[in-house]
Amino acid sequence: MESNIHNYMEILVGKRFIELDFHQLYTLDQITDMKCIALNQLPTLYIRYSLDMLAATPQKKLVRYNEMVAAAVENAEKMVVNDRRERNTDFENIVLYVHKDRFELEDEEEPFSGELKLYQST
């Protein structure tokens, strides 16, 4: 894959970690674990240029992405702080977004209606 293609959610998660000063609170291993946990809760939004993403995405959707990231990072922090590997009791429930919350289409967006053709090599 081209090196300039990346997941936009990685940028938002990274920004959230900086906003919360996680580098002052947690070890590099904990931060890495939290980023993986947070990103696994979020949809992947592959983009080429962040500026194009910002220009082409409605403000309402950008706000929603930031809300999703904030919740995912909060959940990831709870999981790492309450690391089950280090204790035997259960920890509080973690709330995850369900599929319908992740990919709700805006009015101006059209769902893909074409036909996917999968090719198998022989």
Lowest average pLDDT, out of 3-7, 14-18, 63-67, 86-90, goes to 86-90
Instruction: Give residue 45's identity as a one-letter amino acid code.
Output: L
Which residue would you say has higher pLDDT here, 50 or 101? 50
pLDDT tens readout for residues 105-120:
555 555 555 565 555 5
Helix (H) or strand (E) segment spanning residue 109: none
Checking 32-37 for CB contacts under 8 A at 24+ apart, the result is 33/76, 33/80, 34/73, 34/76, 34/77, 34/79, 34/80, 35/76, 36/76, 37/72, 37/75, 37/76, 37/79, 37/80
Domain spans, the chain: 6-102
pTM of the model: 0.67
What are the φ/ψ torsions at residue 83 (nearest 5 degrees)?
Answer: -55, 115
Helices within the chain (DSSP H only): 8-19, 22-25, 28-40, 50-56, 59-81, 99-102
